[in-house]
Amino acid sequence: MPAPGELTFVAPRGAVKPPRHLADLTPAERRDAVAELGEKPFRARQLSRHYFTRLTDDPADWTDVPAAARERLAGALLPRLMTVVRHLSCDDGATRKTLWRLGDGTLVESVLMRYPDRVTMCVSSQAGCGMNCPFCATGQAGLDRNLSTAEIVHQIVDGMRALRDGEVPGGASPEGGPARLSNIVFMGMGEPLANYRRVTGAIRRLTDGDPDGAGLSQRGITVSTVGLVPAMLRFADEGFTCRLAVSLHAPDDELRDTLVPVNTRWKVREVLDAAWAYAEKSGRRISIEYALIRDINDQAWRADLLGRLLKGRGAHVNLIPLNPTPGSRWTASRPEDERAFVAGLQAHGVPVTVRDTRGQEIDGACGQLAAAERV
């Protein structure tokens, strides 16, 4: 049975279950797996340090592991999960989108974005998405399957390696040396809380300290959801200090039923109540994601209604000028309507920013690059 909030899915014909990988396992499970191979349990810590800290899964680099054991350990615990189909860059190389091919042939995307004061990586949690939001390229494609914990983690590990090796330009970190990853956003392909167990497993692998994980801060991780209320409430009980972002896109149930079909099951106020529960337990401010769509959800009265719903809650609204997908009737709001929407929220004292829309020239909306590859 799926866990609360974790949706079932049908794998595509011929899909292959991803092989077991080090990042799928807890530290204790890694020790057991190494022992089953006839090696000393401490080898698990060595492999973990190579993968999460030294960012290498090449046995040739494991000089602290006996040569006779390297290939056996690599084959059992660090199999190849995904390969790069292509990298596309813009913003003078500071934004790099990667199209990945998984072991069963399905395609997913990740984006590395380097800013003057931070580096953010947007990762996918599913191949495709089953939420069916009509303005979203991924939603139009439908759901192929959930990603494994290791397939999620590997997107970030590869991004960390790319930064270390200077593949994404933009200068050194404030402390000197190569830039470091500062933020991870689960806003790529898929609904993260519909793949609950694997996403929470990935968060733990990414934030466990050396040598068990990548040692990143939970406060630098944002998990987005369209509003799977049971999973949101469960997430609030995990003890995480990640930020939760709610993809709201409409303040009224009538419109949101159309834009975010899961709203027919959990209404706006139920979703917001679950978000406030997470905020109370985590101590983190909630982000409200709102894609501005011309003449659909950008009216002044909707800004006023949204402001009334959020007033005094400490939430922050992230307005997203829609990055239109090819052939879609949905497009970004007019500049004057965008300004009026911002003013409407500010009138209620609700903090709001308009997202910097990077990557339009490289099919920036998640799902566009994978869709183009399948054509």
Unique residue bearing structure tokens 């799977």 = 228
Cis peptide before 174 (omega within 30 of 0): no
Q: Choose, from 122, 136, 242, 366, the residue flagged as catalytic.
A: 366
Q: How far apart are CA 159 and CA 157, in angstroms?
A: 5
3-class SS at 95? strand
Comparing CA positions, the residue from 334, 17, 319 lying closest to residue 147 is 17
268-282 and 229-236 are packed helices; what angle lies between their axes, rounded to 10 degrees?
A: 10
Burial class (CB in 10 A: 0-12, 13-18, 19+), 337: middle
Which amino acid type is present at position 230?
A: P
- Residue with token string 């972002």: 245
| Alpha carbons 249 and 288: distance in angstroms, whole number | 8
Task: Identify whether 109 is a catalytic site residue.
Answer: yes
Alpha-carbon torsion angle 12, 14, 18, 20, nearest 10: 140
The residue count of the chain comes to 375
List of E strands, the chain = 82-90, 95-102, 107-114, 119-122, 126-128, 143-146, 183-186, 221-225, 243-247, 287-292, 316-321, 352-354
Asked if residue 107 lies in contact with residue 127, where contact means CB atoms within 8 angstroms, the answer is yes
Structure tokens at 37: 């191979």
Between CA 191 and CA 248 the distance in angstroms is 13
User: Distance between CA 140 and CA 146 in Å, rounded?
Assistant: 16
Residue owning tokens 């300004």: 339
- Active-site choice (6, 39, 109, 191): 109
Do 46 and 64 form a contact (C-beta atoms < 8 A)? yes
Helices and strands per DSSP (H, E), number in the chain? 12, 12
Residues with catalytic roles: 109, 366
